[in-house]
Chains A and B, each alone.
Chain A
Amino acid sequence: MTLPMLVLAAAEDGAGGGPFSLEPGLIIWTWIVFIALFLLLKRFAWPAILRATEERERTIARQLDEAERLNGEAKAALEEHKRLLANARHDAHALLQEAKAAADKEREMLLQRAREEHDQVLERTRKEIGAERERAIAELRREAVDVSLAAAAKLIGERLDADADADRKLVERYLAAMGDRH
C-alpha cells in the first residue's frame, strides 16, 4: 500500500477512521482536556514543584536590586566626597592666597611706616642740629665780642677809651665783617 492509497483508505473510512481523518469533535476534546489539565496543574502541581526555585529567584532578584541600590548610593557618596574634597582644596587655596595678600599688605604698610618714622626722626634731628648750631653760633658770637672787647680793651686800654663810641663801632664793624666771612 502506498501513501496515497492509505490516504484514500482513510478518506473512505470517514470520521473516526484512519490516521489521516480529522474529526472536529476531537479538536474540541483536545481543548477541553488540555485546558482542564493546564488549570489543574497550575493550581495543584506547578506551585509546589517550582516554589523553591521561584523563591530563590525572588531572593536573587531582591539581592541584585539591593546591590544595585547600594552601588548607586556608594557612587553618589563618592561623588559627594570628591566634590567636598575639591571644595576644600579650593577653599584652602583661596585662604592661602588671601593670607599671602594680607601679609604682603601688612609688610608694605610696616615698611612704609618705618620709612616715614625714619624720615621724621631724621628731619627732627636735622632741625635740632640746625637750631643747636644757630644757638652755638650766636653764643660764640657774643663770647667772641666779649672776648674781643676784653682783649681789645686790655690792648687798647692803654691808649683807647673803651667807652668811646667810635672805638666800639670800629670793633663791631670788624666783627660783622668776620661774621659775613663766616
Chain B
Amino acid sequence: MQGDVDIGELIMHHTGDVYAIDFSPLFKWEYGKFLPDLHIGSLTLNLTPTRHVVFMLLVALLVFASMWLTGRALERQRAHERAPKGLANAMEAFVLFVRNDIAIQNIGHRGAAFAPYIMTLFFFILYGNLLGLLPWGATVTGNLAVTAGLALMALVVIEVSGMVALGFKGYMRTIFPAIPGLKGVGALALSVAMAPIEILGKLVKPFALCVRLFGNMTAGHFVILSLFGLVFLFGHVVAWRWAIGVGSATLVLGVMLLELIVALVQAYVFALITAVLIGVNQHAH
C-alpha cells in the first residue's frame, strides 16, 4: 500500500469540501454539482449542498435535538418538582455558563437579549468542531466559507446592534472618533483621517474570528493526518513497522485529546469575542 499514497493529496481531500457523501469503504455517494452556477455581478456561487453543508445540517440537527431534549427533560423535572439531575442538569449548567459568563457578562445589561444568538453560536461551533473529530466526520468549522459566513453574521450583529444602541449620531462617532484635547478644524481633520482606520478596525475583528476558527480547526486535522502519514512514509522500513504504527497512533491520540480542548476553546473564543465586540458597541466610548 505504501508508496502509492500521496499524504498531501489525502490531507487536502480530507479537509476540503466535495460534492459527495463519503463514508468509504462502507458507503460513498458522489452526486456532483447538480445545481447550476449563479452569477451575481462578478460573483459566481453554487448552492449545491456539499459534504460540509450536509454535516452542517447534521450539526444543526444535533444541537437542536440535544437542546430540545434538555429543555423537555428540565421542564418535566420541574413539573414533578424533582431536583434537577443527570445530563439535562449538566447541559443546563453549560448553557447557563454561555449565557451568563460569555453573553451577559461581556455585553452588559442588554446581554440577555443577545444571549440566544451567542448560545446558538457557541453550541453550533462546538458541535461542528467535535463532529469533525469523529471517524468519517467532516469539520464544517474548518471550512473557510463557513467561518466566513459566521464572521460576516457576527459583523452584521455587532454593527447593527451598535447602531440601534448608540443611535445614528453615536454610531458615527465610532467611525469618526472624538479627538480629545482638540477643537474645530484640527479635530475634524484628525477625525476624518481616523475614519479609514476605524472602519478597517471594524472589519479586521470579524476577519480574525473567521481565520482563527478556520486555522485552528484545519491545523489540528493537518497535524493528525500528517502524523498518520508517518505510517505511509516509513511503512517500508520492515523491521520497525510496528514501532512506527504505535508511535504514530500514540502521537495522534495526544493530538486528538488536544483537539478536544481546542474544540471547546475555539467555540468559547468565537462566542466570547463576538460578545465582547457587541458589548463594546453598546456604549459610547
Contacts and interface: CB of A to CB of B under 8 A. Distances in A.
A37 B70 contact: no
B50 A30 contact: no
Interface residues of B, number: 60
Contacts of B149: 26-31, 34
Given A25-B48, A29-B53, A37 B63 contact: yes
A51 B15 CA distance: 40
Nearest to B123: A41
A156 interface: no
Interface string A81-93: 0000000000000
Contacts of B17: 16-17, 19, 21, 23, 26
Contacts of A174: none
Contacts of B72: 48
Interface in A1-47: 1, 5-6, 9-10, 13, 15-31, 33-34, 36-38, 40-42, 44-47
Size category of the binding interface on chain A: 35 or more
Nearest to A42: B116
Contact of B47 (A25, A37, A52): A25
A46 B63 CA distance: 12
B45 A25 contact: yes
Given A27-B152, A38-B120, A21 B49 contact: no
Contacts of A24: 43-45, 145
B152 A53 contact: no
A37 B67 CA distance: 11
B57 interface: yes
B91 to A, nearest CB: 7
A9 B43 contact: no
A19 B92 contact: no
Given A34-B120, A50-B99, A18 B15 contact: yes
Contacts of A41: 63-64, 67, 116, 119-120
A52 B57 contact: no
Interface string B42-70: 01111111101100110110011001101
Contact of B56 (A23, A33, A51): A33
Contacts of A46: 67, 71, 95, 115-116, 119
B142 interface: yes
A-B interface, 7 closest residue pairs, ranked by CB to CB distance from nearest: A48-B71, A30-B149, A26-B145, A45-B67, A1-B8, A24-B45, A19-B15
Interface of B: 7-9, 11-12, 15-19, 33, 38, 43-50, 52-53, 56-57, 59-60, 63-64, 67-68, 70-72, 74-75, 78, 91-92, 95-96, 99, 112, 115-117, 119-121, 124, 142-146, 148-150, 152-153, 218
Given A6-B11, A25-B46, 19 more contacts: A9-B8, A9-B9, A10-B12, A16-B18, A16-B19, A16-B46, A19-B142, A25-B38, A26-B17, A29-B50, A34-B153, A37-B60, A40-B64, A45-B68, A45-B71, A46-B71, A46-B119, A53-B96, A53-B99
